[in-house]
Amino acid sequence: MFRKNSIIQHLPILILSFLIVPVISGQQFKDTLKYRTNPNYELQTKMFGLYKTSQADIIMLGNSLTAGANWGELLGRSNAVGRGIPGDIIQGYNVRVNDILKLKPKIVFVLGGLNDIYGWTPVEEIFSDYVKLIQSLKSNGIIIVIQSTTYAGRDWGKGWGGTPENNAGRNNEVDKLNILLSDYAKKNNIDYIDLNSKTSTRDSFLRPELTWDGIHFNAEGYRIWAREVERILIKYKM
């Protein structure tokens, strides 16, 4: 059984933004969730700096969803590492891109955007940050795999005032971002994993049997995700 502080520590920062969206004269504040406001960011980047891994062929770059699995063990590959930070946003990925490059990866799987969306960052801004990240990695000869931004569940945040209507609205923004990402991937010959097609309900929510809290995957969710990652690795004979 998880202790309360343990659960809170690993939940993404988006919880707070979901509940507290300041409004003045009918307009929402922008940029309430920049990467520096995330207490996990400094903690995890310092931990990554302590790790003994000096090179990894496969890197899983992301937020709390990525941080929720030991990717070396999940994939059965000693050359795979996870670099997920709970609550991180795409801006934060860009800031720590040099730490990724130091590991000299052959391939990087990127997943993110949901924290940005629940932080009310416009989709166009998220996409711009995403493209910057992809270009930084590609310019170093790294194979990039874009993974769709995943949906929230219907009842995500119910204990903190969340509603299905609010989650549906955020998932609509997820759809907008994923269209931009998938189109960009096609135009630039980048592999794209559509996780939502494997993990969502017909009305575009994360399937309840794949999550333990309405937004993070459980073991079955990670099994599906790992299967899709493995297909890409086989494609590149890795």
**Domain residue limits, the chain:** 4-235
Q: What is the pLDDT of residues 144-173, one digit of tens each?
A: 999 999 999 999 999 888 999 999 999 999
Structure confidence at residue 176 (pLDDT): 98
The count of other CB atoms within 10 Å of the CB of residue 161 is: 10
Angle between helices 164-187 and 123-138 (to 10 degrees): 40
Q: How many residues does the chain have?
A: 238
CB 174 within 8 A of CB 149: yes
| DSSP 3-state of 24 | strand
Q: What is the pLDDT of residues 109-140, one digit of tens each?
A: 999 999 999 999 999 999 999 999 999 999 99
CATH number of the structural domain 4-235: 3.40.50.1110
pTM confidence score: 0.86
Span 90-105, mean pLDDT?
96
Q: How confident is the model at residue 38 (pLDDT cuts 50, 70, 90)?
A: confident
